[in-house]
Chains A and B, each alone.
Chain A
Amino acid sequence: MKLPLPPLPAALQPKPKRPGEAERVKPLDQAKEAGIATLDWVDERTSLSGAARWTMFRKVPRGTNWFYTLGSATLFAFLSQAVTGVFLAMYYDPSVTHAYESARHITNDVFLGEFVRGMHKWGSTVMVILVCLHMARTFFFGAYKYPRELNWLIGVVLLILTFVMSFTGYLLPFDQRSYWATVVGVNINGTGPLVGPFLSDFLRGGAEFGSTTLSRFYAIHMLLLPGAIIALIGAHLYLVARLGTTAPPWLKAESGEGLREERT
């Protein structure tokens, strides 16, 4: 039951709108308008909205399930590695005499240092696991078949780059474990016939494991590989958007009337 309002004095009563008077713009609408105007300004000069729509609003086949998120999960693991890695580089010193000390400083002294270094350390393992799961999903769902072979090839290169990333990053804390593990790893590279000795000399920056080895691994880990991985992830995602995703293998192809007509 609605009670009648108490009588208000005429000055306090809301005034009815005058005919012809425009509605007052609320701040929320104003903000929305400004955002749209900005996006329009960019879009008018770049036509990016079409590309964004082409990338984001794709048709996905029926039966798409949680296994299809492994690629995005890998991408997020990579982004996490990139962000934590950039910030770790602000405190890390890639010289043989200071590397271990600066890594210790990050863990023990810097605010949240142990957490960010832990994210980077464990995140690398998570990324390798996710890459392998993503590859297994692609293999068992037959998603590597025509026309997606090139994307499989790019993925294999990305897998190798991820392993090289793990290998070069393992040296950087420069403790006993990473030192000897890298000695062993470089010597395994050296067992390749004919090219092996030169490859391990290239990795070490000379015949002996020295100061150039650490800065070399740091440069490969920080600059060379991330650039290559980002470029290849771009190509990988472009092909995913271009070719679409596959239906899971347990889904039977539909045999509608129209399909049968077309086949004859």
Chain B
Amino acid sequence: MADGRREPTSKYTLDRGMPGAFEGETVTRRRFMTLTVHGAGAIAVSAFALPALGFAAGSALFDRPPVEWEAVGPPTDFPNDTYIPRVVTIIRGIGQVGKTTVYVRARNPDVDAPPNPRGYDEQFIAVSTRCMHLGCPVRYVDAAKRFICPCHGGVYDFEGMVSGGPPVRPLDRFYTRVRNGQVELGPRYSVNSEFRRFPSYRDPAQDLDGIGQYLYPGRFSTPKMD
């Protein structure tokens, strides 16, 4: 072609002069067989690879743990000016590893903000010991009325608000309720620096103020609470 244009090719293999072409066919048998074999291979691989991937990631990302409440003692056990440590089980069946310490006290109207307007009236405050820097265990020092983290020097005030060091948000909390004369602790939830509740609790080091709440999305597996 002198002008660089190509003649429109025929859709029939015979017209295109392909070896082994038959009349009326638009794709050669060799090409058809190649595509069929590749397609069958792809189906066979995805038949084991996709379920395996789903198996590895699915329950980790989508499983919704059951909501469980654990009694930690009668309401009279908990004053409103200091914390009482209680050990609760967050994963069953794995012994010591599934337990964590929670600091519990009664709501103190002089310190705490009014209860969550969405109607979940909590008379007790249960503060998680998981440091919001990188997850080390904090301990409550009564003399200083502070939570102190041993790893990287995070410090929180009486309410659990960050008062020093690297943590990015206040300490997590647990839902509380009173049943049968016992204070019971429910699932964990996160709060941002205005103590707004995030029922899908985030991992430590994930900021929940401003853009942070969108950069660190919650889990699909959050139990419905309020």
Contacts and interface: CB of A to CB of B under 8 A. Distances in A.
Interface in A200-220: 200-202, 204-212
Interface in B178-218: 201-206, 215-218
A96 B95 contact: yes
Nearest to B219: A207
A220 to B, nearest CB: 10
Interface stretch (B3-11, B56-64, B68-76, B108-116): B56-64
Nearest to B65: A207
Nearest to A174: B97
Query: Which among B59, B98, B205, B218 has the greatest number of chain A C-beta atoms within 10 A?
Result: B205
Interface residues of A toward B: which range?
20 to 34
Interface stretch (A81-89, A127-135, A162-170, A179-187): A179-187
A190 interface: yes
A188 interface: yes
Interface residues of B, number: 31
A179 B97 CA distance: 9
A123 interface: no
Contacts of A152: none
A198 interface: yes
Given A197-B202, A197-B217, A210 B60 contact: no
Contacts of B97: 96-97, 179, 209-211
A191 B202 CA distance: 10
A97 B95 contact: yes
A183 B206 contact: no
Contact of A208 (B61, B91, B95, B202): B91
A195 to B, nearest CB: 10
A183 B135 contact: yes
A120 B219 CA distance: 37
Instruction: Give the 9 A-B residue pairs with the shortest CB-CB distance, closest first.
Output: A193-B215, A190-B203, A184-B134, A210-B91, A183-B135, A96-B94, A187-B135, A187-B134, A191-B205
Interface of B: 56-57, 59-61, 63, 65, 90-91, 93-95, 97-98, 134-137, 151, 201-206, 215-219, 221
Given A180-B137, A206-B60, 6 more contacts: A187-B205, A188-B205, A190-B204, A197-B219, A202-B56, A211-B93
8 contacts: A96-B94, A188-B134, A194-B217, A201-B219, A206-B60, A210-B91, A210-B94, A211-B97
